[in-house]
């Protein structure tokens, strides 16, 4: 699964976190499914790039490590 940052207003069932003046909004269901996210950023060439990593990968993202059917 991939995650994207978009400009949006919080909805009724969203969780909002503020970090360094930025507000991050996430749907509570997605937050529970992922068990949280780590967000890191770097600045390069006048732009800021974000890396969003879930604490828990979904089964479809785990690749071959998610099962042992190939063993």
State the Cα angle at 56 between 60 and 24, rounded to 5°. 110
Query: In the chain, where are the structural domains located?
Result: 1-57
State the Cα angle at 60 between 18 and 8, rounded to 5°. 30
70 falls in which pLDDT band (50, 70, 90)? very low
71 falls in which pLDDT band (50, 70, 90)? very low
Structure confidence by residue, pLDDT tens digits, 30-51: 888 888 888 888 999 999 888 8
Distance CA 47, CA 56 (A): 28
């Amino acid at each position: 699964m991939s995650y994207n940052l978009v400009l949006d207003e919080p909805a009724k069932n969203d969780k909002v976190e503020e970090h360094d003046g930025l507000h991050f909004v996430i749907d509570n269901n997605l937050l529970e499914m992922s068990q949280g996210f780590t967000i890191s950023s770097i600045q390069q060439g006048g732009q800021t790039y974000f890396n969003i990593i879930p604490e828990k990968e979904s089964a479809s993202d785990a690749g071959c490590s998610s099962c042992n059917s190939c063993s």
